[in-house]
Amino acid sequence: MSKLLFLSLRNGEIGPDVAHAEYHDALRATGLSEVEMELRVIDSPDSELGPLDPVSGIIVGGCSLNVTNPERDAWHKRIDDILSATVESGKPVFFVCFGISWLVDHLGGEIGRTHPEPSGPTTVDVVADDVLAGPSGTFTALTGHTENPVRVPGSVTVVATAPDGMVQMVRYTDRVWATQFHAEMDADAMRTRMDFFHDYGYFPAEEYARIVADLPNHDVSRANGLLRTFTRLCTEGRFD
């Protein structure tokens, strides 16, 4: 039976709990069951991608790593190899957060720390007609990151930007997408993720209560809808 694959890039003491949480966030956003979407965790230099024959599409979750880190340890290098394999597999792929920096860097672009965003809502302006994002419009998503694409290579289409011009979403070929924001998150998911990464610099500790209280005020259904549309196209065999 064809199914989707959720690839989690988490390790360390909290890694298993974060992987479980983001996997279930993706299940909620896509409307799939655990039978319909498999979880595989890349948590060590010895991790394997595994067979892709039964997989109709791949969703890659976020990661605490940064492309702009001056050194890459063995786990980071293993992630590079595995993500390269997903792009080269010919399967449709949807990268979240870390994945947009990884993809742009992998394809020859430039990543910097010019537009960091604290945990919370972000505005997404669709600037290119896209099968997932639609022809135009503005919507809200949830985010939190320290780095971002500053130069996108010619092989990559910018699908959406922020009001200040920061790249929010890109497409590579006709079957690889990446978002700067967390397309899988709703308010509860963002609060859970903030609890995991309270001391990672994604938000000022003194702002935690205010940010969490504000999260339910934002409609992120269109951001979540990107993953639901991706899932539908994969399960319908539109990329075969």
In a domain, 170, yes or no: yes
Please determine, for residue 1, whether its predicted confidence score (pLDDT) is greater than 80: no
Tell me how far apart the alpha carbons of residues 56 and 46 are, in angstroms, rounded to a whole number.
25
- What sign does the CA torsion over 194, 143, 122, 190 have? negative
Tell me how far apart the alpha carbons of residues 192 and 121 are, in angstroms, rounded to a whole number.
15
In a domain, 143, yes or no: yes
55-60/93-96 β-pairing? parallel
Could you read off the pLDDT of 130-165 as tens digits, one per residue? Answer: 999 998 999 999 999 999 999 999 999 999 999 999
Could you read off the pLDDT of 19-75 as tens digits, one per residue? Answer: 999 999 999 999 999 999 999 999 999 999 999 999 999 999 999 999 999 999 999
Domain that holds residue 123: 3-235
Total number of domains in the chain: 1
Helix boundaries (H) for the chain: 15-30, 74-88, 98-106, 187-196, 208-214, 221-235
In a domain, 36, yes or no: yes
Could you read off the pLDDT of 8-21 as tens digits, one per residue? Answer: 999 999 999 999 99
What is the SS3 string spanning 75-117?
HHHHHHHHHHHHHHCCCCEEEECHHHHHHHHHCCCEEECCCCE
For residue 7, what is the domain's CATH number?
3.40.50.880
Res 48: pLDDT: 98
In a domain, 45, yes or no: yes
What confidence category does residue 88 fall into, taking pLDDT thresholds of 50, 70 and 90? very high
In a domain, 23, yes or no: yes
In a domain, 56, yes or no: yes
Tell me how far apart the alpha carbons of residues 185 and 22 are, in angstroms, rounded to a whole number.
8
In a domain, 240, yes or no: no
